[in-house]
Each structure stands twice: as structure tokens, then as C-alpha cells.
Structure 1
Amino acid sequence: MSCCDTNGLMPLSEALQKMQDSLSNVCETITLPLSEALGFTLSENIVSVLNVPPFNNSAMDGYALHANDIKEGSENNPIQLTLVGKSFAGAPFTGEVKSGCCIRIMTGAVVPDSVDCVVMQEKCIAEGDSITFTQSAMVNNNIRFSGEDLTVGQAVLQQGHKLTPRDIPLLASLGIATVAVYRKLKVAVLSSGDELKSLGEPLAQGDIYDSNRYSIIALLSRLNVEVIDFGIIKDDYTLIRDAMIQADQQANVVITSGGVSVGEADFIKDVLNEIGEIGFWKLAIKPGKPFAFGKLQNSIFFGLPGNPVSAIVTLYQLAVPAMAKMCGEKIKPAVRFNAICRDALSKAPGRTDFQRGTYSVNEQGQLIVNTTGSQGSGVFSSMSQSNCFIVLEQDRGNVSVGEKVVVEPYSPLMD
């Protein structure tokens, strides 16, 4: 489908593909201590340099022994073994455990090669050096073997993986003290509009507070990027042009909010035409039709609509995946599910619609979703009260109660 198939509006899928095809990783590689690497993207593959665990160790507190010694053990036939030593974490037993003997062992301690199982302490009766067993045991019982988790040479994490709190202890277990990652993307953010006021300033007739910049910067803070806040720029061609030139000189990405529509005071598109180039403008998406993508001399440009919901929807659905590629991160598709819609939804064919909803599981175990009410692009409470997008396909019309719809739960960026 071409951008002309919907009154000149480019379909969302085409816009996403066009951005991905025109972007590349722009971030240099840096080396960081593991303790500072959370949220950064790996610039090289991580391969295990040792076995994890590095030695056979006990999975619990108990006694290490030969399983064959107690194979006939039962309540009616208790078997006694002689305690000959102990193995604690960091203080292994160094002797040999012969048949008829056992050692005390603690969780994580080395299991000697001369034994083949561990019996948990709750199943034993200890009386001095005499340990009584009333149950049999299987060979390899309660032993964690060397390399059971990772082996030398095994691929651990791939280039392009964004480090999470789950990855840090994994790398620490390998003794990795530093990692090669891509540095933070620099993102300049500015809002345009004569009606916008900063928080704390009094509102005159027709004024509103600049909420978009706060929502944009809040979401960006979870991307681990470096934000450069250019504040509010008045609806003046020269002021906007100068601000965008400065932003282009300082950042890899320039994000504006407002000024990309077709009003007399909407200058962003004209400035972009003068000092850069427009990749596309106006998409078949709701909310967020007046979204602009382009290039400046040194940076990539994203022009978000001025309406608050439109701004955050286009930032999340379009700009975030693009910036992820610029950071060297491998793009992961959004998680989406089918759900039963509990409300009637209004929808005109022609644009992909991201309505705001709340999904849950009913008593029958079915995934259901409800609308958050008014879906106007200026009704930001519809975002605050929601936990997902209800994604309605471009050609779809109204949705009746009970119909299946696609639900996209918010990622940690939004949740």
C-alpha cells in the first residue's frame, strides 16, 4: 500500500520500515564497569570464559556419601554411616570419603569426587559421629554439576542486547568486570507554541502548561539516553530555526513537539525543509497523524504532534524503535495478544488506531479489555488510567461488544 492509498497518509508499517531502512548505529563504543552498565547496549558478544558453577557443589545442607551405601535404607532398616569430616562453602573437604562413611556438607560447598550424592539433613539423624539414614538415595541426588549453567565457550549474550537487572549477576558470575557497550544517544527535546507556559508560571487566557516535554523526557529517561532540554520555543520562524540548528549541533536526535500541522503558525515543517530534509510527514495513524520524520545535517529529526496523547503515542510507537536502532540495539517486536473487548469502540476505516484500554483476566481465564473512556487526542487521562493500547487495524471499522481485538500491553518504558 502506498502513502497515497489513504488520502496521502503513509501506513504505519511503511513508515516504520522506511525509518529502519534509513537509520544506522551512530554511537561509539565505550568500556564501562559492570556496576555502571545497566541499561546500556552491548557492542560485542559475551562468551563464557569458565564453567558455571566452576565445580560440583551441594544444592542443600546435608550429608555427602555413596548412594550405594544406603540403597537398602528404610524406616524398618535404618543404616548408619560414620561422619569423617565436613565441606563448607569456601572450605572444602580434602580427604577421601570411603564406603560406609559420609561428610557434613553445606549448600554451595564442593562435593568431593569420592561421593556421588547428597542427602538433605532433615532426612538424617545425627548422634555424634554416627549418622542414621532411613531412606535410600539416588546417584547424583542434590548435586549441582560443574558447567550445569554455563560452559566454557558458550554464547551468553549477543551484541545488540540491552543489559537488564537479570543480566548483571549473570555476567558477574563469569567474573566479567567490564563490558564494551554503545555510549548513550544524545537527544535534544523542545516544545513550540505561543500558548505554552512552563510549570509554575501563571496562565493567561488561552494558555496551557507544557505537559508534552515532561512526558517525552520521562519516557526518554527510561531509554538510558542523554537528554538535552531546549525548553519552550515561541512560534517564530527564526527562533525555531536557530533552536533546531543548535540542537542539531549538540545531539544525535532532535525531537520537537507541536508545530508540525498545517496552521499559519506551524513552522517546524518549513524549517526542516530549509535546513534538512523530510523523510515523510502525515501518517495513517490515530492519534498522531501529523508526525514528521527527517534528517538535519548531523542528526535525525522526529516531529511529534502537539496534542498530548498524539505526542506520546508517536514517540512510543515510532521514535523509540528508531532510536533503539541508532543505539545499536536489536529491535524486538511489541508483545501483542488477542482479547475480548468488553465495550463498543468507535473507529472509522483508514488509519491504524491506538485506543487506550485496561486489560485483565476474567474468572473464566479469558483475556478481556475495556476502554478508558474518551479517546480524544487531548485527553491524557485516557493514558494515565490505561495499561495497554487497543490496536485497531487500518481497515477496521467500529468494534462491537464481544469482538476480539489486539491488545499491546505497555512495556516498562510506559508502565
Structure 2
Amino acid sequence: MAQLSDDCFAHGGALIRLDDALADLGQRLKPVTTVETLPLQGCRGRALARPVEAQVAVPPRDNSAVDGYAVYFDDLSSDAETVLPVIGRAAAGHPFPGPQPRGTAVRVLTGAVMPEGQNGAPDTVMMQEDCRLEGERVVIRPGIKRGANRRLAGEDVRSGEIVLPAERLLGAAELALAAAAGHATLEVYRPLKVALLSTGDEVHPAGGSLPPGGIYDANRPLLSALLAAAGCVVSDLGIQPDRRDHLVRVFGEAAATHDAVISSGGVSTGDEDHVKAAIEANGSLHFWRLAIKPGRPVALGQIGRVPFFGLPGNPVAAMLTFCFFARPLLQRLGGAVPVPPRGYPVVSGFGYKKKSDRREWVRVSLESDGQGGWRAEKYPVDGAGVITSLTRTDGLIELAEDVTRLEPGMRVPFYPYAELGSGAV
């Protein structure tokens, strides 16, 4: 498996702002996956390994934007109707079979290549609704502009132009552009193979009976879905006993066959928390104290030279630290330039206090403000373990580090869960 070259996650432990942490780690991390060539149909969600250069202009030749008549603008009267003979027809894929003489019109359908010309070229298309046909002649009203309704060759893309940069994540629009530019295959990074596991003797798989003190494992299904949405191939290693020697072996075997390893909870210095010791037996571990709420402590390290992410145990904190922190780092390791989630301005319907120098996300539902906008209302229970605060809300509002008080009516950025890769679509 591909690996990191050194201890990229080394950190001194001081509280650090999220943007600073992402910028720091983004400079250190490089793609760890290999490159493969795939047909376009297999490239959705992948990151480009090489820039894509247009092999042809798009469109390749001047063409008509409407159904109408191709004419020479200089043949038209500026203040009276012009009558021209219609000498033929052109449709998409069926060009007019020869040069169009001056003083004539050619019937053209949308997408048809503009006819070649004599003493210039037909440069204007009169929309069929703005003229009338009288036998084999077309009557054109005055007032049309030169070049109207004509799409120019290379209007969208010039031949030889770089249309998609390396490290771009490929969606439907990018694949359409690559095809229009002449490419049937692309060089892309192989998706990250990520091993996912839970630890803790109190954690049990859903569906069975719970012993006293037991809880069902919610984080593994949560993180598996988030990883899949991020384009990773997930290996579910289940719930592992919290014993040092056992975890040393499990983590070592996982690192041997995966590009990254993720666990949640159990990364501390308690008597029964053996993840830290198991990671350090195989490599290194560092605690990044992020200035965020929920989710401040995140463990980052390397098992050998394979990256390890230790996320908080509370489900809400696990989700938010993954979406805002781990996800962009995994995208970088997978060869992509991370795309930050977009926040949309809404009006707050509630007041709120917070500490300075800490970014906070508050779970909210949106309600119409009656004026064409949206008002955010806070979910009444906001603990980091309250999963219903995710299922009964629409997303998060973000309060920046320098904000200490939110008043009703203030505008704040809202992040729908779909922007974080955690929505149902």
C-alpha cells in the first residue's frame, strides 16, 4: 500500500484553530494512492491525476443556436424587409453541401454547422419566428444584429486548452466536459482503502441484546456512510476488544492492507483505553486540540507510515470532526483538492453565547421568515451524544472564533447536512 513518507501529523498539543490546522496539514500531506486509467463511466467521484487538455474545440465549428435561416448580414437591409431565395437546408450532423453564395439564405436547424461562404461567410441566423416563408423565398424583417443566433467555434473551449486541472474531483459536469473535449478515458487516483473499527468493551453491534452498561455501536455505521460518501472504499473491521496486545495486532494488520485507519472513542489515557498505546507500539500518535465545539480532541498518527485518525466517541462530535476536519485530509490523501462546504446566509431566530477563539456549530432547523428567506431555530437539546439532534434538524449554523454572542435577527452561515457529505442524497 502507498504510505506517508514521514510523521506528517506531529503536533505540539497547543489549541489550534481549525483553518490553521487544515492549512498546516494540507501542506504536509500528499496523495498516497496509485493512478489508473478508466473509462469516463467509472470516473465519477474520483480525483484527476493529470490535467485534461481539449483535443478539439467545443463547439468544433460555428453553428446555429436556433431554427432559422443562415444569411450574410451585409445582404440585409437596415430599414426595410429583405427577400432572399432559400437554396437548401442544413441540420445537426448534415451540413449544407457547398459554399453559400451571397444574396441567398439556407434553412438551418439548431446545432447545424454554419454553411461555408463566398466572399466572406454567412454570419447571422434569422430565427424562424421573426421571418416568413413565401414559396421558396424568405422575408426577413430589419433590425437583426450581425452575428445573431450564431455560436462560434471554440466559444466554450479552445483546442489545446486545459479544461480540467489535476486533483479536481469529477462529477457529472466534469465528465461531460471531458467527453466534449474528446476524451473517452481519464487518469484518476484509485480511491482510498480505509479500515474502520470501533473499540470498547461497552460497545456492542446493533440487533443483539445489551448487557448491563452496554451501548449499541452508532459510530461505525455513521462513519462508514460518511467515508463512502467521500469516495472511500471501506473495510469494516467491526468492534475490537479494548486490549493492548490485541489492538497492536489489529492495527498492524489493517495498516498493511489499507491507505488509512479510522477509529472513534477510546483514545485517551484511561486505564481501559489502549488505543493510544497500540498505535504508539506500531508508530506514533499526536493529539490535535482543535478550537472547535463539538469535538475538540482529535488523535492523528501513523501506524508504520499509514495515517491513523482517532475521532471522538460521541456521535455528533465524531460526525462534525469527520466532516470538517478528517474528510478534507482524506481527500488530500486521495489526490483531490478539498472543496470546502458552502455556507448559506440565514437569519438566527435565537440568542446564544459562546467562548471567544473557538468555532462552534449549532444544530438548527430552518423555518420560513415570511419574507422569502429562512430563519434558523436551535434544537433544544445539544449534547454531543444526542443523535436525534442530527435527524430532527436541517443542518448547522457556524459561529466564527471571534463571535461571542448571537442575537436574534443576526445573519449567520448555514450548512445543510448534504454540504458536509452527510445528507441522504
Do the two structures share a fold, i.e. TM-score over 0.5? yes
What residue identity is the alignment partner of 1:239?
H
In structure 2, how many angstroms separate the alpha carbons of the residues matched to 1:18 and 1:59?
49
1:349 CA drift (Å): 4.5
2:43 to 37, 42, 64: 37
Once the two structures are superposed, the pairs formed by residues 173-188 of structure 1 within 5 Å of their partners are 173-188=180-195
1:370–1:85 CA distance, 2 compared to 1 (3 A)? same
Residue in structure 1 matched with residue 115 of structure 2 by the alignment: 112
What residue identity is the alignment partner of 1:35?
Q
1:379 to 378, 386, 393: 386
SS at match of 1:41: coil
1:237 to 238, 244, 260: 244
1:190 CA drift (Å): 0.4
User: Is 2:267 the partner of 1:260?
Assistant: yes
2:229 to 214, 219, 222: 222
User: Is 2:421 the partner of 1:413?
Assistant: yes
Residue in structure 2 matched with residue 344 of structure 1 by the alignment: 351
Residue in structure 1 matched with residue 406 of structure 2 by the alignment: 399
In structure 1, how many angstroms separate the alpha carbons of the residues matched to 2:129 and 2:20?
63
Unaligned 5+ segments in structure 1 are none
SS at match of 2:297: coil
1:283 CA drift (Å): 3.4
2:31 to 4, 16, 25: 25
SS at match of 2:291: strand
What residue identity is the alignment partner of 1:383?
L
User: Is 2:22 the partner of 1:16?
Assistant: yes
1:282–1:139 CA distance, 2 compared to 1 (3 A)? closer
SS at match of 2:37: strand
How many residues were matched structurally? 408
User: Is 2:94 the partner of 1:91?
Assistant: yes
Query: Do 1:70 and 1:136's aligned partners in 2 also have CA atoms closer than 8 Å?
Result: no
What residue identity is the alignment partner of 1:106?
L
CA deviation string 1:170-219 (max 9, x = no partner): 11111101111111111110011222222322333332221111111111
In structure 1, how many angstroms separate the alpha carbons of the residues matched to 2:357 and 2:274?
27
* TM-score, length-scaled by structure 2: 0.88
1:55–1:404 CA distance, 2 compared to 1 (3 A)? closer
1:361–1:73 CA distance, 2 compared to 1 (3 A)? farther
Query: Do 1:249 and 1:298's aligned partners in 2 also have CA atoms closer than 8 Å?
Result: no
CA deviation string 1:42-77 (max 9, x = no partner): 111112222111111110111112233332465xxx
After alignment, is 92-101 or 45-54 more displaced?
A: 92-101
1:406 CA drift (Å): 4.4
1:9 CA drift (Å): 4.1
1:335 CA drift (Å): 3.0
Query: Do 2:351 and 2:407's aligned partners in 1 also have CA atoms closer than 8 Å?
Result: yes
In structure 2, how many angstroms separate the alpha carbons of the residues matched to 1:306 and 1:383?
16
Once the two structures are superposed, the pairs formed by residues 80-159 of structure 1 within 5 Å of their partners are 80-114=83-117, 115-159=122-166
User: Is 2:295 the partner of 1:288?
Assistant: yes
SS at match of 1:125: strand
1:271–1:111 CA distance, 2 compared to 1 (3 A)? same
In structure 2, how many angstroms separate the alpha carbons of the residues matched to 1:154 and 1:363?
47
SS at match of 2:198: strand
* TM-score, length-scaled by structure 1: 0.90
1:72–1:335 CA distance, 2 compared to 1 (3 A)? closer
What residue identity is the alignment partner of 1:203?
L
In structure 2, how many angstroms separate the alpha carbons of the residues matched to 1:338 and 1:393?
14
Residue in structure 2 matched with residue 279 of structure 1 by the alignment: 286
After alignment, is 168-177 or 339-348 more displaced?
A: 339-348
Query: Do 2:298 and 2:309's aligned partners in 1 also have CA atoms closer than 8 Å?
Result: yes
After alignment, is 346-355 or 91-100 more displaced?
A: 346-355
Q: Provide the alpha-carbon RMSD of the alignment.
A: 2.5
CA deviation string 1:140-167 (max 9, x = no partner): 1111111111112222111111111111
Unaligned 5+ segments in structure 2 are 1-10
Query: Do 1:261 and 1:305's aligned partners in 2 also have CA atoms closer than 8 Å?
Result: no
1:205–1:395 CA distance, 2 compared to 1 (3 A)? farther
In structure 1, how many angstroms separate the alpha carbons of the residues matched to 2:57 and 2:290?
52
